[in-house]
Amino acid sequence: MTEDSQRNFRSVYYEKVGFRGVEEKKSLEILLKDDRLGILPPHHDSHSLVMSYRKGQYLDILRALRVVHFISDTTPQVELYLRMYQLESGKLPRSPSFPLEPEDEVFLAIAKAMEEMMEDSVDCYWLTRCFVNQLNRKYRDSLRQLPRAFEQYLLLEDSRLLSHLKMCSAVSKLPYGLWFKKCFAGCLPESSLQRVWDKVISGSCKILVFVAVEILLTFKIKVMALNNSEKITKFLENIPQDSSDAIVSKAIDLWHKHCGTPVHSA
């Protein structure tokens, strides 16, 4: 496998906007020749100009939110991103005191995770914005099917474990929102999460299923010892972080085992 095919989405993004030699961990088969999130045009010569426009747009949106008193100097950064996204998408509520919608919670979780990966706030906003748009548009129907696919592949890998989950009435109460809607943001640490997101951005949200399956397989003994759905769900929402890299590596192996070598399959 060539060096180019091992770069993660941040490495490719930084190179596209003119920053080379960024020290980062590398992961597999990520955005190779083009920007799948649609942030930048295909012609490299125009990237600097486009990024200046992106920064100007970012600052304009912030100014607009300040004018209508939706944000202040004390507003948390990830909330700024949310309000900017809401304004751009025409979904800004009448008041910042309105309760958040479930889709807002998803955005905040992804933005918080992306903030750990990116140093620049402008880059962080655009990556979060475009990643969420990809989930909402390209993967909307596929994401709804992932719980069923999860059950299907867990049956193939460990039918006894699946039977235990069913016996405890836990299958329908598993943290699917954390796993699939939030793409494991808030569940996996950044070093592991970026490898999963690389696959999603590259064209396959099905990797999320195999990460979920591998979590169950990794903590099978613990899960089998729990005898009710509430305890199982609580544990799976707070898995030990020190196992994350191994879980993702094994999940990628499962992905290849069941799907061959998918590149852009959903």
The pLDDT of residue 141: 93
With CA atoms as reference, report the closest residue to 69 among 95, 100, 91. 95
With CA atoms as reference, report the closest residue to 166 among 178, 177, 179, 155. 155
* Token pair in block for residue 132: 């969420």
One-letter identity of residue 5: S
> Which residues are CB-neighbours of 148 under 8 A, at least 6 positions away?
none
Q: How many angstroms separate the CA atoms of 191 and 54, rounded?
A: 27
The pLDDT of residue 13: 52
Query: What is the pLDDT tens value at each position of the chain, 266 positions in all?
Result: 333 434 566 555 554 444 433 343 333 333 333 455 666 666 666 667 777 888 999 999 999 999 999 999 999 999 999 999 999 999 999 999 999 999 999 999 999 999 999 889 999 999 999 999 999 999 999 999 999 999 999 999 999 999 999 999 999 999 999 999 999 999 999 989 999 999 998 888 999 999 999 999 999 999 999 999 999 999 999 999 999 999 999 999 999 999 876 554 45
Q: Give the Cβ contact number of residue 236 at 10 Å.
A: 22
**216 and 161 in contact (C-beta within 8 Å)?**
yes
Tens-digit pLDDT profile for residues 132-182 = 999 999 999 999 999 999 999 999 999 999 999 999 999 999 999 999 999
The pLDDT of residue 262: 56
Q: How many angstroms separate the CA atoms of 258 and 123, rounded?
A: 35
Output the DSSP codes for 189-205: -HHHHHHHHHHHHHT-T
DSSP state of 101: P
Alpha carbons within 13 A on the beta-carbon side of 92:
18
pTM, 2 dp: 0.83
The gap between the terminal CA atoms of the chain, to the nearest Å, is 23
Q: How many angstroms separate the CA atoms of 214 and 246, rounded?
A: 9
DSSP H helices in 69-228: 77-88, 102-117, 121-137, 140-157, 159-167, 176, 190-202, 207-218, 220-225
